[in-house]
Structure 1
């Protein structure tokens, strides 16, 4: 069975990782820079080649965009489901700092809270809670 790990390419992977750790809790597990490559260019030696971090209990990989310009897009969104409303609201507020609310965090017709934000790095997050079973 395959394992999915989000891999985010960034203009500043260290700052973006710190932002996610502050918003969701976690830590940077490891960082490899371009300077660790055998024939590293002096111009990019401090740029992140590969980073592993845990934020919100989820493993992410990140790197700096070095050889090609970074183009923001809407082809992928990250969905975080929280067990409580308080956790969802906290993550929504923190990830939304400096970003844009695309859909406010509010009760959805399927019985959960749902909201959507684009963070200040252009990553689109869907924040939700577990759907509540229908009560008769």
Structure 2
């Protein structure tokens, strides 16, 4: 079994992809726009101008595949208790990634030393995605 995160960006997916490429070195392994779909959406299913938005994309971030879209989110009062975790090889890289993700976002816990990591912090980025950033402990 493989469980993967799927993130919806409410029309800002291209911006999010560019941001994660710059900050995390994300690689786009697949991208399809609504206009490229072999089956057009039913009339009225998409807001005007959405034909150039991202219907589906796959991003490789390190060893992880993350799926992203502008497409209609499941919406409603859903489960909100989640965060993506970025485990970085050292403190300097953890500090760089944390600062970049925090730019335009909101820090919940500043990057600091914990009993499990030399640097750990929590934030929500500019797209509303919750992150936990940590430096891997030296063994």
TM-score by length of 1: 0.83
**Preserved contact between residue 117 and residue 134 of structure 2 (Cα < 8 Å):** no
Maintained 8 Å contact 2:102/2:123: yes
Is 2:107 the counterpart of 1:85? no
The offset of 1:27, in angstroms, is 2.1
Conserved? CA contact 1:47–1:66, under 8 Å: no
Query: Equivalent residue for 1:36?
Result: 36
**Number of residues paired by the alignment?**
132
For residues 108 and 118 of structure 2, the distance between their equivalents in structure 1, rounded to whole angstroms, comes to: 17
Answer 1 or 2: which has greater strand percent: 1
Computed over aligned residues only, the root mean square deviation of the Cα atoms, in angstroms, reads 2.4
Give unmatched runs, 5+ long, in structure 2: none
CA drift of 1:107 comes to 0.4
Structure 1 runs of 4+ with >4 Å offset? 67-73
The answer on whether the counterparts of 1:103 and 1:116 sit within 8 Å (CA) in structure 2 is: yes
Aligned-pair distance for 1:45? 1.5
Distance across 1 between alignment mates of 2:98 and 2:124: 10
Task: Give the corresponding residue for 1:126.
Answer: 132
Q: CA, structure 1 residues 66+15, in 2 after alignment: closer, same or farther (shift >3 Å)?
A: same
Match of 2:17 in 1: 17
Residue 54 of structure 1 aligns with which residue? 60
Alpha-carbon offset, residue 87 of structure 1? 1.0
For residues 71 and 123 of structure 1, what CA distance do their matches in structure 2 show?
Answer: 17
Relative to structure 1, is the Cα distance of residues 60 and 116 closer, same or farther in structure 2, using a 3 angstrom cutoff?
same
